[in-house]
Amino acid sequence: MELEKERLTVGHRPDGSEVNLPVVRVQGSSRGPRLLITLSVHGDEITGHKSVWYLLDHLRKVTDLKGELTIISLVNVEGFNYSIRGFPYSTLDLNRMFPGDERGSLSERITARIWSLASKADFVLDVHTAGLCVPFVLIHPAEPLIRDFMEDVAYASGLTPLYNYDPELYDRIGLGKSLSGTSVKNGTPALTLELPGFVGIDQLGARAGFIALKNVMVKLGMLDGDYEEVDFLPVIRRRGMKRVKVSAESAGLLDYTVELGEEVFEGQLLARVRDPFGDALEEVRAPRDGFVVQINGFYRTFTGGKVATLAVEAG
């Protein structure tokens, strides 16, 4: 195994210092798929970094790596430096800006440089965190052949495989311009890994992320070995599930009555919205049978804000 490190310069800050993207390339001993792993497209999502540390430690011990692995550990390097989701001094979300513009603004040049690598890959894994959640893998809309392959890889990861939001919401919030969404539209299979993590690194989430990355490499034929189970965090091992958002009409503090990974049924109480006096303003109930895969880590919501995400049957 050969490992190389470099920094790709994409522009400069007002003080003249370079804005560059740290890249690790791992070349296998024989031919195989080209896998791209990206981290911190959102600058405050960093659990995946420790997953990659585990992965690189593992790869240093193997001699049978096939193909080429490229890791871009900081996509939103500026957001990372300030521990914010978007791009500093703006409301831009880099994960709604692909494929970018190599002659555009700094944020557009960053996404364009990432896209120049993603468009040459055989598979893309974009690693995120989703706050208080079970670890899950998102499958973006695609033609049946690519979709079925992505579902197989998502299931093999050992995490909860989920189809993304219904088309109306998916389009409205711009997920078609995410890295995974853009990759899939251009014929490259891609998955979005959502790991636990709120502000810092979630240690168990990082371990689950490592297992998922390794399992995907086994599935793609890049590594030999058996699949490993994630048995220390809730995982819903079912196919044909999708994610749905559950929101509240009232604003206030969230008082949950369910736990992550719990199976719930249509009409079941998920949480109460309480005002600062402790009075219950609203009871938020499950719209369908499913499983709780994410809750609002801020434990407060504005009018119309998210309370939970459920995994439900995709039919």
With beta carbons less than 8 A apart as the criterion, state whether 241 and 163 touch.
yes
With beta carbons less than 8 A apart as the criterion, state whether 230 and 135 touch.
yes
Report how far apart, in Å, the C-alpha atoms of 14 and of each of 18, 101, 106, 165 are. 10, 20, 12, 39
Phi-psi region of 251 (alpha: psi -120 to 50; beta: other; left: phi over 0): beta
With beta carbons less than 8 A apart as the criterion, state whether 25 and 10 touch.
no
pLDDT in tens, 276-308: 999 999 999 999 999 999 999 999 999 999 999
- pLDDT tens, residue order, the chain (315 aa): 789 999 999 999 999 999 999 999 999 999 999 999 999 999 999 999 999 999 999 999 998 899 999 999 999 999 999 999 999 888 899 999 999 999 999 999 999 999 999 999 999 999 999 999 999 999 999 999 999 999 999 999 999 999 999 999 999 999 999 999 999 999 999 999 999 998 899 999 999 999 999 999 999 999 999 999 999 999 999 999 999 999 999 999 999 999 999 999 999 999 999 999 999 999 999 999 999 999 999 999 999 999 999 999 997
DSSP class per residue in 200-244: S--HHHHHHHHHHHHHHHHHTTSS-S------SS-----SSEEEE
Altogether, the residues listed in the chain come to a count of 315
Token reading at 289: 């049978």
- Count CB neighbours of 134 within 10 A: 26
With beta carbons less than 8 A apart as the criterion, state whether 42 and 128 touch.
yes
Q: ∠ CA 132-136-137 to the nearest 5 degrees? A: 140
Measured distance between the N- and C-terminal CA atoms of the chain, rounded to whole angstroms: 44
Q: What is the dihedral of CA 220, 222, 223, 229, to 10 degrees?
A: -30
Domains and CATH numbers, the chain: 2-219 (3.40.630.10), 241-313 (2.40.50.100)
The reply to whether the predicted model has a pTM over 0.85 is yes
With beta carbons less than 8 A apart as the criterion, state whether 81 and 13 touch.
no
